[in-house]
Amino acid sequence: MASTTSEGVDSVIAELSEALNDATATVGFAQAGLRQLTQFVATHVTPSAENPDPMFYLGISDPNLPDSATYANWRVSKLLRQIELNGPVDDRLGHQWIVMFFAKWDEELRPRLAAAHGCEPRDIKVPLLGDLRLLRNAVVHERGISPGFGEVLRWFDRGAPIAMGGWHYAEFHRLFPWEALRTRP
């Protein structure tokens, strides 16, 4: 049996709550930025007869300058398809949320919570996070194709693309078993 640490259960749970909030806020603010980028492109990028589908660059400084360091680019037509509401970039943000939050839980916070409870990490069983693990595995190993329903989450049919929306994050927060985590397994 693992020994208890000086770190308390409530402290680990508070950090878990903050990690969940921060991961979800990151996705939300990034999605809000996508909506702003759509408006920016519509009002500031003017196609011309010579260049009907201009390139949009991401990088450091003006891409026309010799010392510019661009690291990504899309033609405006592709950019607008990629960043549309519920489009490919939204999907990738959702996938990143799944992978990042599950990794934070499984690799850092679960072991710390187990130590605070005086047990092994494998003793901390949270069905909601087990379902997130299944989604994480599908994102990483199955190109974001759902394995089907989990024990708690009934989000995506088997074989459907994993496409997170605002209600998924809200439901995940609502279902999170905060009080159960306070009890030693």
When pLDDT is cut at 50, 70 and 90, the band that residue 62 belongs to is: confident
Distances, alpha carbon 149 to alpha carbons 50, 88, 131, 140, 152, in Å: 51, 22, 8, 17, 8
- Integer Cα distance of 71 and 132 in angstroms: 32
pTM for the full model? 0.91
Unique residue bearing structure tokens 């508070």: 14
Q: What is the percentage of the chain residues whose pLDDT exceeds 90?
A: 91
Please determine, for residue 3, whether its predicted confidence score (pLDDT) is greater than 60: no
Average predicted confidence (pLDDT) for the chain: 95
Is 88 within 8 Å of 96 (Cβ atoms)? no
What does the angle CA 74 – CA 31 – CA 19 come to, to the nearest 5 degrees? 125
Q: pLDDT tens, 128-185?
A: 999 999 999 999 999 999 999 999 999 999 999 999 999 999 999 999 999 999 999 9
Please determine, for residue 4, whether its predicted confidence score (pLDDT) is greater than 60: no
Structure tokens at 153: 């989450």
Q: pLDDT tens, 9-32?
A: 999 999 999 999 999 999 999 999
Distances, alpha carbon 115 to alpha carbons 44, 80, 122, in Å: 54, 48, 11
Average pLDDT of span 51-55 = 95
- Integer Cα distance of 62 and 36 in angstroms: 20
Domain chopping of the chain, boundaries: 9-45+85-182
Q: Which residues contact 110 (CB under 8 A, 6 or more apart)?
A: 121, 124, 129
pLDDT for the residue numbered 164: 97
- Integer Cα distance of 43 and 90 in angstroms: 22
